[in-house]
Chain A
Amino acid sequence: MSERVLLGDEVLRQFLADELPSIRRYALSLTGSMDDADDIVQSTVEKVLISGLPVEAPKAWLVRVCRNLWIDEIRKRKVRDHDVYSEEGEAVSQVANIDPKPVETNAEESERFSAIGHALDRLTDEHREILSMVVVEGMSYAQVAEALELPVGTVMSRVARARTNLRRMLAPTE
């Protein structure tokens, strides 16, 4: 059996503490809900504390665990009917409609975040997760390719389409 090198216990905890802000932002961009984001992050942390993280690319693994838990969660949720932005030639998956619950801020900011949350909610799961990885988590295309087990070329084109879709939904009058 080949030896798998994992982060030691204390190193793992410190790594998780350091990455917590980033993974929470990532989870919020996936779920659109503060409560759901922290639930996903807690499940991620609990899972990783049991299974460990490899010393090579621990961040990519952490993101993958979080993302997979999100996928599991949306599959369990009841899907509501709503308009889903579709793109010719691409399969459109059902999006679990998780209502965005922005933090209480001033009215203008609250309205802006609501609009963003709504736009995110209308993206396909594929587009939402890939934008979250690249824009929110700052992962490279190579890292995303590894995490999602996709060719880099597919990552590049999918990011571009996701970005275009989000941009159109946020500025539909252009």
Chain B
Amino acid sequence: MEDLAEKDIELLSAYLDGELDAAQTKALKERMLAEPHLRRELEAMQSADEMLSAFAGQIDDRPLPEALDRIIGESEGTQGGHVQQQAYGFFAAAAAVFLLVGGFFITQEQPEDFAWLDDLPSGKRLETENGYVEVIATFRQVDGSICREVISPTNQAVLCRSESEVREGADWQIMLDVARSDVPAGSFQPAGANQAIDAYVSEHIDGAVLSAEEERQLIENNWHD
């Protein structure tokens, strides 16, 4: 193997990793045309990478150990889950992203478990086995759906329902669910203190939060106007 300058090795390595900018890439490609030993070194690096990846990929064919399968298998779908990848990287300053999750506030596992949202007025606390849940506010989104901001000792969330679907308790979808990890159980945290929830509401609300009377009428009319 021809000895290459350290800088050239770094350039080739960074090129392989897609870490060069457009100008650097263009310059290196031109050099590789003129200097075949650079091309040969790049191919050798690529070959070593492929061998490393193949080595690591052996484990793909090995079944999950039972203990690991049990731990992970408690979520819906152990491979290729349906959660949108974009949900993991949100929380830019004012961005809000739809985050569909299978469970909510620990106590709920199935959509029909949200039936309590149909009848609970804002400001009233419902005691649960994990503490409580409380609706902070109800509002309309710009798309017409009705949403409720809910809080528990550990989570703060926004759930919305579509007006076109009327099955009781079946249509509340979690739009955002944020852990309130630093809030001691039983202590007060001002509603809206969570930036992500605030950002979501700000971005999606149509007008103002519903008044107590407006909310009462919706509850009585099973969430129809």
Q: A-side interface residues toward B, CB under 8 Å?
A: 1-11, 13-18, 20-21, 24-29, 34, 37-38, 41-42, 45-46, 49, 52, 55-59, 102-103, 105, 112-113, 116-117, 120, 131-132, 134-136, 140-141, 156-157, 159-161, 163-164, 166-168, 170-171, 174
Contacts and interface: CB of A to CB of B under 8 A. Distances in A.
B55 A29 contact: yes
A41 B68 contact: yes
Contacts of B17: 134, 140-141, 159
Given A135-B52, A171-B47, 11 more contacts: A8-B104, A15-B83, A25-B57, A25-B59, A55-B89, A116-B52, A116-B54, A161-B9, A163-B45, A164-B45, A171-B48
B81 interface: yes
A57 to B, nearest CB: 7
Interface stretch (B115-123, B138-146, B178-186, B200-208): B178-186
A108 to B, nearest CB: 13
B27 interface: no
Nearest to A58: B88
Nearest to A20: B72
B59 A9 contact: no
Interface in B50-109: 51-62, 64-65, 67-68, 71-72, 74-83, 87-91, 99, 101-104, 106
Given A13-B72, A136-B52, A18 B193 contact: no
24 contacts: A3-B180, A3-B181, A7-B179, A9-B179, A11-B99, A16-B75, A17-B75, A18-B80, A20-B68, A28-B56, A29-B55, A34-B59, A38-B59, A113-B55, A113-B58, A136-B56, A140-B19, A141-B19, A156-B13, A157-B10, A159-B13, A160-B6, A164-B9, A170-B48
Contacts of A2: 182
Given A16-B72, A20-B78, A28 B177 contact: no
A110 B142 CA distance: 60
A38 B65 contact: yes
A154 B51 CA distance: 24
Contacts of A20: 64, 68, 72, 78-79
B71 A42 contact: yes
A19 to B, nearest CB: 10
Given A56-B91, A160-B9, A167-B48, A28 B83 contact: no
A28 B1 contact: no
A24 to B, nearest CB: 5
B44 interface: yes
A66 to B, nearest CB: 13
